[in-house]
A and B are shown apart, each in its own frame.
Chain A
Amino acid sequence: MKNREKTKRRRYRALLVMSGVTAVLTLLLWQYVSRTFGDEAWQELQSDRKYDRHYVMIVDDASSLLWQDIYQNAKEAAAKSNAFLELSGNWDEEDYSLSDYMNIAIAAKVDGIILKPDGTVKLRKTIDRAEEADIPVITVIEDDSASSRKSFVGVNSYQLGTIYGKQILECIDQNTQKVTVLLNRADAGKELVYKQLRATVQEGLKDGQKVEINSLTITPGSPFGSEELIRDLFQDENGRPDILVCMSETESKCAYYAMVDYNQVGSVKLIGYYQSAGMLNAVQKGVIPMVVALDTEQIGRYSIEALEEYYSMGYASNYFSVDLDIITKENVESYQKPEET
């Protein structure tokens, strides 16, 4: 009798425990589902961190890896200063120019603009208008010193030209006769770079050696123009250079593929630009001798620093110098991210 009672009680207890466990499990499951798919997930889609200031980065090629890289670095730096950085210039549904984006930013009353100028007068005017509206403008990579921009973050053209020149000299051997530098008209300061590059190469040439240095200017605005131009260059056997210098990410890529397609690996030495995974791979394989790379982290960080400096001090340093790296086969590994190798 007693035993039966005990068993009964044990059974009751077991049932109670089971019910309790079921209830707790149910609640946990419910909570898990609610959390995964409920309001919290909903809010995750729309993170609501608030910032004190709102900056805009306006570049012409916002979707390129270089700018995405710079934007991410700058955004992180901005977040640390409690500012939100918006990447403008990718309103792909409208054919807006940089000055349009500038106007939009001014109309939107942002707190600061990071701009890669194209050297046009129109853009310079909008920079001035932004200054009038008390919006500080920081130029990156390219400078427009004639405008009322607050600061410039990048490598100055003289320095860049010298570095490029030195790299060309490295690549020049006895058979080198022709060096072609691809210039983009959208990049205002590239003419200066080219001049300095030329000067450096001329100076560095050994006595008696003659190397023809010319530039190929790519006109902005015509879509796929640069690609066609580069293909033409490789197609024309006489015009084909021994060394080809690229000063933008897209051009580097185009030149690289054209070189491979026209079976010119080895005969044409390509000096690439920006440490994209493709370029780094090519360097590693020895297909191209070197890549000139900007420190995107520095660019991002300095541009935000410049703006923050402006807001805290009322003015900003005129120039933030960014390191320039030369990536060759020897040091390529340190630039490669694990997943890219």
Chain B
Amino acid sequence: MREKKNSPLQRMSIQTKLLMTFMLTAVLMFVINLMLYSQINHSMRRLDEVYATNASLNELSECLEQTQDDVYEYLNTKSSDSLENYYRNTQTLRDMLEQLNAENVENDSKILEANIRNMADTYLRYSEETVQAKRGRNVEKYNTVYNAALQNYKYVQAAIYRLNDMRFRSNTDNYRLMMKSMKYMEIVCSGIVIAAAVCSLMLLLLMIRTITEPLRALAGSANEVAAGNFDIELPDTDNRDEVGVVQHAFVKMIESIRTYIRQTKESMEKEQKMMERELLMETHLKDAQLKYLQAQINPHFLFNSLNAGAQLAMMEDAEKTSIFIEKMAEFFRYNVRMNGGRASLEEELTAVDNYVYILNVRFAGDIHFEKMIDPCIENTELPSMILQPIVENAVNHGIRNVTWEGWIFLRVERRKDCVMISVRDNGEGMTQTRIAEVLSGKAGQREKKDSTGIAVDNVINRLELFFGEKDLLTIESEGIGKGTEVRIRIPLGGGEQTGA
């Protein structure tokens, strides 16, 4: 698996992912609502302002009127109540005036506000003078000043009325603007909500995909596995969510299945090899038999005829001929019988005796054969037709063409875990190259016509197949003219390991 830093999204469980998606959407919607409400509240506050300004002006106008009434009342009656009211109202009026704009601002209504403030102040000064003059009973003065105050009062009231009107007009404009803004806000908010919804949807889609895509990939892999393809590239996942866990488990499962399959395959291959070996052995045996049968046309007929010949010789009192023919018949019978390719060592030795006897008859006793047999060789089994071809070779290639007296020594020796058979001659001998050629089976068929036709490589192969071991047959020679020794090692307790 690649070494990679997991993104936070990959580390999250499905539950967290879904929760997060929901939360995100909710928060988005919440924020939008908040924005909307704040805007609506803002507009509502403005709407309030629209009326509040008019209302406060009305209050100012009323208070001014009250003050004027109080002045009039005081001048008329000089009552202490009216004076008290006058002072109280004056204070209220002053407080109200404090709220008004006092600066020279480029704004018609604000400048009018400042004017009202100053005018009302002037009015209050006049009214105060009037009250003072009345108190001091200065009739002429309070009349004059009262007139000035009255005139000012009218001006202030007119100004308030005008300001009220102005405000109302601008408020109407504001109101219109506000309504328009609300309308636009509606459109913008709808747009924002739609955009947010689209974003949320895409986010949701993305989240769902991070969940479903690995699942789909996993299902695909599972299907392939089900179809028998174990060599699929497993979906690589860094997700740590529930799907990731399942995927990891799946990957592990596939890996262990692969291992199991590999092991099974290996053991099957082994078995296959064994079977192949067995088959090969059988083939070699068949080959040997075939070759023999080719050499001996209808051996049954032959050895039956030989038997008849032996009996005829007996009747004619030709004892030697009878024995010869009998040995011949025995030799061929052994060859024909062969007992499923296995024979006891004694049988093999008998076959060799027969063969040597036959040859000695043929070659007028030129072949000197000596054997030393260990008596403890019972129950030693080996493939049939092993010794005879070796002896045949010793005769044909060893001593047949030598000028000196040819000897063949057969020696069977029981050892600890094997039986050693040695066939030695004092014939032509062999070079090391020739030995190597013969052992590797490259010597070729240079058999003479009177041979049984079984080559050394066939012997070697059958021995190896029978015992499941190599190097059971060795050839030794000290050189040309120094004779040859063929040794065969027969393992004990082995033989036909394959259990054929």
Contact = CB atoms under 8 A, between A and B. Distances in A.
Interface of A: 1, 11-12, 15, 18-19, 22, 25-26, 29-30, 33, 36-38, 41-42, 45-54, 79, 83-84, 86, 91, 93-94, 96, 100, 103-104, 106-110
6 contacts: A26-B195, A46-B107, A50-B105, A53-B104, A91-B162, A103-B151
A107 B174 CA distance: 31
B155 A48 contact: no
B119 interface: yes
A107 B184 contact: no
Interface residues of B, number: 50
A12 B206 contact: yes
Contacts of A22: 195, 198-199
Give the dominant DSSP class at B's interface.
helix
B188 A49 contact: no
Most buried by A among B115, B188, B202: B115
Interface in B409-446: none
Contact of A86 (B111, B158, B203): B111
B74 interface: no
Contacts of B123: 107
Interface string B342-383: 000000000000000000000000000000000000000000
B122 A109 contact: yes
Contact of B159 (A26, A83, A104, A109): A104
A51 B104 CA distance: 5
Nearest to A44: B177
A47 B109 CA distance: 10
Across chains A and B, which 8 residue pairs bring their CB atoms closest together, nearest first?
Answer: A37-B181, A108-B115, A51-B104, A107-B122, A54-B104, A107-B119, A109-B118, A49-B106
B236 interface: yes
Interface centre among A86, A104, A109, by most chain B C-beta atoms within 10 angstroms, is A104
Contacts of B192: 26, 29-30
Given A37-B181, A42-B177, A104-B119, 15 more contacts: A19-B199, A26-B191, A37-B178, A48-B110, A50-B106, A51-B104, A51-B105, A84-B104, A86-B111, A86-B115, A91-B162, A93-B161, A93-B162, A103-B155, A107-B119
Contacts of A86: 108, 111, 115
A206 to B, nearest CB: 56
A158 B252 CA distance: 117
A1 B114 contact: no
A36 B105 contact: no
B170 interface: yes
B299 to A, nearest CB: 72
A42 B180 CA distance: 13
A84 B155 contact: no
B212 to A, nearest CB: 13
A311 to B, nearest CB: 14
B152 interface: yes
Contacts of B174: 42, 45
